Amino acid sequence: MSEGRRTPQDSRRRHSMADDVTGLGCEPQRGDLVYDTGKHRVGVVTALPEDTGTTTYQLSAEGGGGGWTAPAVRLTFSATVSNDSGSSAVLYVCVERSPGAHALAEERAVQEGRAFAQQRALRILAEIADPCGEPDPGSRGGWLRVRALAEGGGVSVAIVRWPSVISADPDLRRAEMVRLQGHGVRVLFSWAPLSAWQAVGR
């Protein structure tokens, strides 16, 4: 057998290793864009567990920058949202109030959220906006309305553009996602690189 040639047995062994490590039955490859639910960050896979002899993936930020490692159980890849078809959703938007740019930024975020919902057959029951700047979601009137909808069972999906829309503080963001999940509400991202992934507060 020529060195470097992959046999069917090698492929099966490789998939089995990935399944054992991830527990998800999926196998991110080098160059894949994945979402780290622990750090709430998107990264590019630069090395696989088999490359380093560990159970973690090497990731780097899009466009370069510092890298980090993550166990596969923390990575979300190609999570389906098809089961949400027909579900009621709330669209939450939080944008910077910069002179002359606020209205355009909010409109762009809303249009993106509406398109995201339409693609997934989600019914938007409410569109709620808050100005950015307050790190504690519990201190924002709009986010309190999102909480109320979740607690009242009015929606089963909350659409936000990206994680920092909820809060720039990782601990506060995680607490809010866990709170919504406790009421059976899934948080989904409408921003294109994240739109295939479900946000999980871990």
Q: What is the pLDDT of residues 20-55, one digit of tens each?
A: 333 333 467 887 777 777 777 777 888 999 998 998
Q: Tokens representing 64?
A: 């370069």
Give alpha helix (H) positions in 32-76.
Answer: 49-52
CATH number of the domain that residue 72 is part of = 2.30.30
Please determine, for residue 158, whether its predicted confidence score (pLDDT) is greater than 90: yes
pLDDT of residue 94: 85
Q: How many domains are contained in the chain? A: 2
Q: Minimal CA–CA distance to 125: which of 112, 138, 141, 113?
A: 113
Do 72 and 88 lie in one domain? The reply is no
Helix (H) or strand (E) holding 127: strand 123-131
Residue finishing a domain among 44, 76, 108? 76
- Residue 2 domain flag: no
Q: Are 39 and 33 in contact (CB under 8 A)?
A: no
pTM recorded for the entire structure:
0.56
Do 66 and 142 lie in one domain? The reply is no
The parent domain of residue 133 ranges over 82-199
